[in-house]
Amino acid sequence: MDRPDLNQAADRKRLKIRLATLEADMAYFQARLEILGEPATANQWAQHKAFDYLSRGLGNLVLKTKRRMLMSE
């Protein structure tokens, strides 16, 4: 039989790893936005839009993961 405290600890550890990964990905996309600056070409505009979209999407996942962590305490 599985011990609930061990399962809960493993789940919490997985959530921490997921959160760290999401935050690293989000930082990458935010850095790319900073490097791009103000788009001057259609290609840069498309990259800016994609990086912005991905950054916001990851931000939402970070919030959801943090909520799950709080609920698992």
| Of the candidates 55, 47, 7, 64, the residue with the CA atom closest to the CA atom of residue 27 | 55
Per-residue H/E/C for 12-24: HHHHHHHHHHHHH
Dihedral angle computed from the Cα positions of residues 34, 38, 43 and 45, in that order, rounded to the nearest 10 degrees: 100
Rounded CA-CA distance 4/23 in Å is: 28
Amino acid at 72: S
As given in the structure block, the two tokens for residue 51 are: 């990086």
Look up the pTM and report it: 0.75
Residues 8-64: tens digit of each pLDDT: 888 889 999 999 999 999 999 889 889 989 999 999 999 999 988 988 999 999 999
